[in-house]
């Protein structure tokens, strides 16, 4: 191959845009509200919406205002007639095993102040106060004993689930 043809080919390759690998994906939503993204096509009974796929370069900010105009949704095709507005359903919720007696804010405040309110787990108590000096098991109740300065000690009692018990 002559030199000038190779030079033209190489210069043409350098000038190609870097976004040639962009693609259109389909957003499929069934009657139960389940959403799937695919490039293979949606089943007939699903609502279909075409979307331009846009992968932001590493280190960039992916805020909506910074997305290029081609990342906006394309026209939508509905399989069903009028659709009702859907309620938002919470699928997962944090369960600490102690009945979620403490809110996240109460838990943070207790950890910062080195307190052990009822509803804290054993793991959280050890995180706040460290390993106990002594562990006492009596009648299904576990207690952590912490020896402090000048011969004093403090105790934290746990129920059968491993949660700090309230004072009676």
* Residue (of 31, 23, 30, 69) closest to 50 by Cα position: 23
Residue 149 has pLDDT above 70, yes or no: yes
Give pLDDT tens digits for 18-30: 544 556 788 888 8
Average pLDDT (160-164) is: 87
Between 51 and 86, the more confident residue is 51
pTM: 0.43
Instruction: Pull the structure tokens for residue 58.
Output: 């590493």
DSSP secondary structure, 114-149, as one string: T---TT-BHHHHHHHH-S-SEEEEETTEEEEEEE-G
What pLDDT band is residue 9 in, cutting at 50, 70 and 90? low
The values of phi and psi at residue 5, to 5°, are: -70, -45
47 SS3 class:
strand
């Amino acid at each position: 191959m002559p030199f000038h043809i190779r030079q033209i080919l190489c210069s043409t390759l350098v000038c190609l845009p870097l976004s040639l690998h962009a693609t259109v994906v389909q957003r499929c939503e069934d009657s139960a509200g389940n959403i799937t993204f695919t490039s293979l096509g949606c089943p007939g009974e699903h609502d279909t919406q075409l979307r331009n796929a846009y992968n932001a370069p590493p280190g960039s900010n992916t805020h909506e205002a910074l997305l290029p105009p081609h990342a906006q949704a394309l026209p939508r095709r509905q399989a069903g007639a009028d659709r009702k507005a859907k309620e938002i359903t919470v699928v997962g919720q944090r369960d600490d095993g102690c009945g979620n007696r403490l809110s996240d804010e109460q838990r943070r405040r207790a950890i910062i102040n080195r307190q052990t309110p009822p509803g804290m787990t054993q793991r959280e108590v050890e995180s706040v106060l460290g390993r106990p000096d002594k562990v006492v098991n009596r009648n299904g109740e576990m207690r952590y004993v912490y020896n402090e300065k000048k011969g004093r000690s403090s105790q934290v009692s746990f129920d059968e689930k491993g949660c700090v018990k309230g004072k009676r």
